[in-house]
Amino acid sequence: MKIPHALFTRFTALILMLILGFSCQRIQKEASYDLLIKNATVVDGTGSAPYKAHVLVSGDTIAKIDRDTSVSYAANSTIDAQGLYLTPGFIDTHAHGDPLETPEFSNFLSMGVTTICLGQDGFSPEREDLAEWMQEVNDKKPGVNIAMFAGHNTLRMLSGVQYDSLPSSDGLAKMEQLLVKSFEAGCFGMTTGLEYNPGYYARSNELNRLAKVVGAKDGLIMSHMRNEDDAYVENSIRELLAQGVYCPVHVSHIKVVYGKGEERANQILQLLDSARRQGIKVTADFYPYTASYTGIAILFPDWAKKPHDYNNVLQTRRTELAEFLKNKIIQRNGPEATLIGSGPYKGKTLKQVAEELNKPFELALMEDIGPYGADGAYFIMDESLQEAFLKDQHVMVCSDGSPSMRHPRSFGTFARVLETYVAKKQLLTLEEAIHKMTGLSAQTIGIKDRGLIQTGYKADLLLFRLQEVKENATYENPLQEASGFSYVMVNGIVVKEDGQLNGERAGRMLQKRVL
């Protein structure tokens, strides 16, 4: 049958239009991608098994994930990730540092951390208007994303409560107002540092009242608890769980000082599990080292620390203080187990300092260092006990580190988890470890669009070979950056390529939406 010429012409034109339209649509679609990561082995942060895929990024967002790796895509730039793991950027749930002073945060980027949580241990910037501070940070262009928490100790100081053990009703109301204002600025919760002053003076009524505010704002309380020693840690946890009636609570850098063995860890974990069965949301984080790190004041009695006059204590209670410090140091595994991390004696143990000064270690600590003269690392934890915490499904990874802290956790934590606990000890599978450093952390903090490799999530991404990841930092040389992360991306921007940071700063302040 012969097709009329006019019909044939219209049919041909229609086919051509369809072809041209499809081609234009395909070109337009392909041109919208800024980055193609092809042939990657994706560990997506959920804890699920790895899979092969192409991942495409537009702007700061994951635009497409295609498990059919036979499909070709065009993008402005391409990374061939054959043989590499692609994971979300790590989220450090407990970190330190001043983004206005050291905005680069290269120590974190080098070990794969793309988001850090600041305002820890009860201390945040001493600003009533945190929104203003956050804008200053954004203007500085930090190297990593920052999730902010309001510090309870700082709230005490700003409100005028300061060192009062029983705040007035006006003082409590002012703390509540400041906390609400912190949430309005975009904070994700409140931290407490009850082992430090002035938080040490806080009692249950005050803590519970503030917990109600945190709960009303859908926030989280992270706590450096009142006492982490073996004999007191359960009581400290119970104090935190009482606040958990009003809001989710989180044990910062979970540990049992002087405790021994996996069985002891399981007793603590059972206490937390029991609380969960009663409806309390409680989680914890962990750093993979057996030495803690904090100010040397932790060794001194309360009556020798602020607001008390230390010079007066030296004059009136000298013998008592010397005896206290001697017993305290012996209890904490002796002067060789305290490594000075700052000040004129940094890099030396307390034993070495005492030998250098030719005096007993307690007098060196009392006379030559003092409660505010140094920070230190303290070798006081049991490895098998701490590793039991790491295996628990509700425990995630943190560094408790900073760009300047002389402790290997500041530069090595996340690399150490992969190198030691996945590759060497096989304590965790790779997907379990990644979940503890990404998806679990984001879920706990309340970050809605990071921590997973999913379409629509922000493109904070890492590429690496597991066998190449190295910690490098040691107690003797703690400021050595980790290696082995081939690519690091923050908000879709490549900030590390071929294993080298390129100087790009693509982080931003993350702000929680207020209820």
How far from each other are the two terminal CA atoms of the chain, in whole angstroms? 71
d(CA 477, CA 474): 5
CB 288 within 8 A of CB 433: no
Q: pLDDT (tens digit, 9 = 90+) per residue, 489-513? A: 999 999 999 989 999 999 999 999 8
**Average pLDDT score, the chain:** 93
Question: What's the confidence (pLDDT) of residue 269?
Answer: 98
pLDDT score, position 439: 98
**Tokens 């002053």 sit on residue:** 197
Domains contained in the chain, CATH given? 90-290+381-510 (3.20.20.140), 294-379 (no CATH)
pLDDT at position 291: 86
The rounded distance, in Å, linking the Cα atoms of 212 and 218 is 10
Task: Scan for tokens 């295609």, then name that residue.
Answer: 66
pLDDT at 15: 47
Contact by Cβ (8 Å): 495, 115: no
Residue found by looking up tokens 């143990």 in the block: 349
Q: Kindly state the tokens that stand for 26.
A: 């395909």
d(C-alpha 308, C-alpha 365), whole Å: 18
The pLDDT, as a whole number, for residue 7 is 47
How far are the Cα atoms of 107, 378, 414, 423, 472 from residue 411, in angstroms, in the given order? Answer: 5, 17, 8, 19, 8
Encoding tokens for residue 50?
């790895």
Q: Tell me, rounded to whole angstroms, the distance of Cα 165 from its chain centroid.
A: 30
Residue 380 has a pLDDT of: 86
Tell me the backbone φ, ψ of residue 191, rounded to 5 degrees.
-110, 150
Measured CA distances, 328 to 298, 386, 408 (Å): 10, 22, 25
Cis omega (within 30 of 0) for bond into 344: no
CA gap 172, 188 in Å, rounded: 21
Give the C-alpha separation, 315 to 482, whole Å.
47
pLDDT given at position 28: 36
User: Which parts of the chain have pLDDT scores under 70?
Assistant: 1-31, 515
Tracing tokens 């107690």 back to the chain, one arrives at: 475
The residue among 418, 478, 495 whose CA lies nearest residue 114 is 495
